[in-house]
Amino acid sequence: MTDSTLSSLLLGLLEGLTEFIPVSSTGHILLAGHFLGFESAGKTFEVVIQLGAILAIIGVYAAKIVTTIRDIPTDPQARRFAGSILLAFLPAMAIGVLAHGYIKEVLFESPRLIASMLILGGVVLLIVDKLPLSPRHHSAEHFPLPMAFAIGVIQCLAMIPGVSRSGATIVGALAFGADKRAAAEFSFFLSMPTMGAAFAYDLYKNRDVLDTGALGEIAIGFVAAFVAALLVVRWLLSYVSRHGYSFFGWWRIVVGTGVLIALGLGY
């Protein structure tokens, strides 16, 4: 196995394992690529393997997606649920388009910023997980529309690599009264349009520099991301219902601290 093939496999697994848990998959991929010396033109590899994670979450919730779309014309609850996801998606769509260049060219190129955000986000997760919150919303399908929009606004913080899209939406949902399982599930549903749009827009913006010569490595990363994400999604809801989010908070702090030490030593 060549070094590039091994790196592709490791980065694909890392993408799938971290995409839907609140630890920042983008932050982990960028930091791992930095230390592995892995580069792809226009971030082609990093963009395309996200599709593996997107397809994994769609596969897990395929029946729910089909039922909701089918029932939109006749069922007010289906329309309300679809509307809440769309409403939560709009802020990220707007900011992603307006700030795309700055995010990719400045924020994505700062390993110290990413590591610092991992640590800060870990502290926030630990604090929120221990707060004596009284959940009022126990189903992701019944979040009030203003609450869904507010979660969408908070999701925009994840434009800063290291913050974590799932982490921001989960913390937001918990703060607004969702229980831990419902918060994670709403994050899953919101990830579909958010990640899908980000993937399509990135692909469009980088269409002139796509590295099609690396199709083998891309395919390996894609499959690894799909399989790993599929396993994580099926496991996560059960885990957080029983144990909460403190493990992920400590994970972020340990990784972020380790990266800052490594960077300080010149790696």
Q: Is the pLDDT of residue 245 over 70?
A: yes
φ, ψ for residue 158 (rounded to 5)? -75, -5
Average pLDDT along the chain:
88
Q: What is the pLDDT of residues 149-203, one digit of tens each?
A: 999 999 999 888 889 999 999 999 999 999 999 999 999 999 999 988 888 887 7
The pLDDT of residue 4: 73
Residue 40 buriedness (CB in 10 A; 0-12 / 13-18 / 19+): buried
The pLDDT of residue 214: 64
Element (H, E) at 8: helix 3-18
Q: Which value, in Å, is the radius of gyration of the alpha carbons in the chain?
A: 18
CA distance 189 to 200: 18
Helix 25-36 vs helix 246-264: crossing angle, to nearest 10 = 30
pLDDT tier at 3 (50, 70, 90 boundaries)? low
Q: How far is CA 102 from CA 30, 46, 115, 154, in A?
A: 16, 17, 19, 19
The pLDDT of residue 41: 55
pTM listed for this prediction = 0.88
* 64 Cβ contact partners less than 8 Å away, ≥ 6 residues apart: none
pLDDT tier at 73 (50, 70, 90 boundaries)? very high
DSSP 99-125: HHHHHHHTGGG-HHHHHHHHHHHHHHH
Assigned token pair, 148 = 């869904």
Q: What is the pLDDT of residues 104-154, one digit of tens each?
A: 777 777 889 999 999 999 999 999 988 888 899 999 999 999 999 999 999
Query: Which of residues 217 and 56 earns the better pLDDT score?
Result: 56
Query: Which of residues 78 and 199 earns the better pLDDT score?
Result: 78
CA distance 187 to 194: 10
pLDDT tier at 212 (50, 70, 90 boundaries)? low
Identify whether the C-beta of residue 168 lies closer than 8 Å to the C-beta of residue 23.
Answer: no
* Boundaries of every domain in the chain: 3-264
